[in-house]
Chains A and B, each alone.
Chain A
Amino acid sequence: MSNKRKKFDKLLQTITYISASVGVLILSLIVVFVIRNGVGLINFDLITNDYHAQFYNGGIDEVTTFSNTPRPNELATDDIYSEKWGIALRDGLDREGKPIIEVVFIAEDSPLYAMYDKNNLENTEFKIEVENIISSVKFDDKPSALSIYGAEYMINELDAENQFREIVFSSLGGGIRGSLITTLYTIGLTLIIALPIGIFSAIYLNEFAKKNRLTRIIRSMIEMLTGVPSIIFGLMGLAVFVPLTTRYTPATSANLISGSLTLAVILLPIIIRSTEESLKVIPDDFRFASLALGANNSQTTFKVVLPSALPGILTATRF
C-alpha cells in the first residue's frame, strides 16, 4: 500500500476519534454543568418550600407592656436575644449564600404579637413566627436596621426604642414544592387522558381496522403529529383547550386541565406507536387459535392478545 494512502487513512481515523471524543465530551459537560450548579442548592427545604417568599409588613400600636421572659436555655450561644421584645434572632445564610436574619424564638408574652398586617387590616391570623426571615426593622426617627448589619445590630436598635414603624419579614421561599406537586399532577392527569385513547387507538389500528385506504390515511395523520414542533402544540392549546376549559370550568385563564390536554396530544402518537410495536410482537397463531375456538374479535383482543401484550405495553409507555 502506498505511503500516501496510509497517511490519508491515519488522517481520517484521527478525525473520527477527535469528533467522537468532542461529541461525548461536550455532552458530558452539559450533565456536569447542570449537576454542579444544581447540587449545591438541593436539600430537603427545596422540596418542602414554596417558590415565592411571602412578604409581610407588620406595624404596631404604642407598646406599653414589654416582655419579661428571661433568655431561654435552649438558644445557641450566638443567637441574640432581646428580653424587652421577647425575640431571639440568628445570623444565617440563605441557599444562595446571602446573609439573612432568622427568627429562632419568640416569647409567649412578646409585644410583637400585637403587630397588625399593614397591607391587610382584616387579617386576624397575622403574626410573626419562628423560621420567618426579618429583612428590616424601620423606625420613625432613625435609619432602619437592615439585615446586612447583622442580628446583633438589629436587636440593639430595637432595645433602644419603645416604638417602631414596621418590621418587614417573609416566609422562607426559594423552594419548588408547588412546581413539584403541579408537575406530578399534570403528568398524572396527562396519562389518565392519553393512555386510554392511545392504547385503544393502537388496538383498533392493529386488531380491528381493515387494511384499506382509510386506515392508511388515519395512520399517516397520527404519524404527522410526531413531526409538529412543540410550540405549535402550545398554540393549539391556547386556541382550543384554554377557551374550552375557561368556558366549562371556573378557571379564568390557562390552567392545569388545558396543560394536561395539550401534553396528552403530544404524547398520543408516541403511545400509539409503542403500543402497536408491542402488539405486533404477539404471534398471529394466538389470534387464529382463539378465533378458531369460536371467540369473536373483541374476545380475542381482551382475553388473548392484551394479556400477552400487557407487559410490553407497560414498559413501552413508561417514558
Chain B
Amino acid sequence: MNKTKKWIQEIKNKLHFNNKKEIVDFFVRLIFMISTIISASFIIIIIIFIAREGIKPFVTDNEGLGAVNLFRFLTGRVWLTGTTFQSTLYSVGFIIINTIYVAVLSLLISMPIGVLTALFIAKIAPKKLSSVMRTVIELLAAIPSIVYGLFGAGVILPFVYNFAKTLGIQSPGGNSVLATVIVLSLMILPTITALSEVAIRSVGKDIEHGSLALGATKTQTHFKVILTSAKSGIFSAAILGIGRALGEATAVSLVAGNAQNGPSFGIFQTTSTLTSTMLQGLKETIGLDYDIRFSVGIVLMIVILITNALLNYVKRKVGNVNVK
C-alpha cells in the first residue's frame, strides 16, 4: 500500500511542470518513446500473429476436417495427400530437406567464387579496376530478387533444359534443382562478395607486412594470412548469404518447379522450397489450405534460426585472429 502511494507521488512529481519548456520536453520524450515502442513491437506482432494463424491447423478441427498431425506434418514426403479442402494430410518434411539442400549447394558454389572475388578486389586488382568492380558488386547486391528470377526464367531455364537434353534427360522446361541452385548462388554472390571484401580490407596491414617480411610470397600471404585472419567476417557473410537463400521466395518459385513430393536430390528433378510452397496459390485459397501456409512460415523461421545458430557456433569454434 505504501509502495503504491510512493509511486503515485513519484508520477505526480514527474507530471508537475515548472514552465512550458518542461511540458514540451515531456511530450517530445513521450512521442519518441512511443515510436520506439512501436518499432520494437513489430517483431512481437509478427511472431504472435504468424504463430496464431500457424498453430490453428494443429489445434482446431479445421471446420470438420480434423486436426493436422504435427509429426506427420514435419516428416512426410508428400505435400498434400488427397483432395484440397477435403484432406488434412499436409507435410513439409521433404520440403525442409529440399530447402536446406538447395541453400547449402548454392552456398558451396558462391562461397569460393565470392571470397576469391573479394580477395581480388581488396588486394590484387589495381585501384581503378577494383573501384569499378566494387561498384558493380554493390549495384548487384541492391537489385531486387525478382530480376534474378526473370534472369533465371529467361536464360537459365532454357540453358538447363538444353543441357539436360544433351545428356539425354527430359527436364520439365528446365525447372530443376540445378536452375534453382544457379539462381540462388547468383543472388547471394554479391552479398557474400561485398561483406567478405569489407572483412578482408579490415585485416591489419602489420600482419600482412609481417608475413611478407618473413619471406612468404604475396599469394601465400593472401591465402594463408589474410583469408585466415578475415575468417570470422567471411563466416558472417556466409550466414547472411544462407539467410538470403533460405528466405528467398519470388525468384525461387519462378525456377523451382514446385514439386509436390520428394525430397529431390537429382539435379534435374523439380524441387520446392518452403518459401515457394508458401507462395504457391496463396491468394487463391481459403480455410485450412490457407492457414497451413502460416505453419510453413513458422517452420521456415525455425529453420533459419537453427541454421544461423549452427553457423554462429561453427564461427566461434574455428576461432578468430584479432582483426583490428
| A interface residues (Cβ-Cβ under 8 A, vs B) | 1, 5, 9, 12-13, 15-17, 19-20, 22-24, 26-31, 33-34, 37, 196-198, 200-201, 203-205, 208-209, 218, 221-222, 224-225, 227-236, 238-240, 254, 265, 268-269, 272, 296-299, 301-302
Contacts and interface: CB of A to CB of B under 8 A. Distances in A.
A37 B114 CA distance: 27
Interface stretch (B4-12, B77-85, B118-126): B118-126
Contact of B39 (A12, A233, A268, A297): A268
Nearest to A219: B40
Interface size class of B (residues with CB under 8 A): 35 or more
A208 B33 contact: yes
Contact of A298 (B28, B50, B117, B147): B28
In order of increasing CB-CB distance, the 7 nearest A-B pairs are: A229-B247, A20-B120, A200-B35, A204-B32, A19-B116, A298-B28, A23-B117
A198 B40 CA distance: 10
Contacts of B189: 23, 26-27
B136 A229 contact: no
Contacts of A296: 21-22, 25
A240 B49 contact: yes
Contacts of A201: 32, 35-36, 38-40
B314 interface: no
Contact of A26 (B39, B186, B278, B279): B186
B50 A225 contact: no
B237 to A, nearest CB: 14
Contacts of A17: 120, 124
B50 A229 contact: no
A291 to B, nearest CB: 12
Most A CB within 10 A of own CB, among B28, B45, B140, B220: B28
Contacts of A302: 28
B22 A232 contact: no
A232 B50 contact: yes
Given A19-B116, A27-B140, A231-B247, A222 B186 contact: no
B24 A298 contact: yes
A231 B304 contact: no
B43 to A, nearest CB: 5
B105 interface: no
A254 B284 CA distance: 12
Contacts of A235: 50, 53, 278, 293-294, 297
Given A20-B133, A208-B33, A228-B43, 7 more contacts: A15-B116, A20-B125, A24-B137, A27-B137, A200-B36, A236-B50, A299-B21
A20 B123 CA distance: 12
B29 A198 contact: no
Contacts of A268: 39, 42
Contacts of A203: 32
Nearest to B282: A238
Contacts of B33: 204, 208
Interface string B166-204: 000000000000000000001001100100000000000
Contacts of B50: 232, 235-236, 239
A236 to B, nearest CB: 5
A252 to B, nearest CB: 13
Contact of A218 (B40, B124, B247): B40
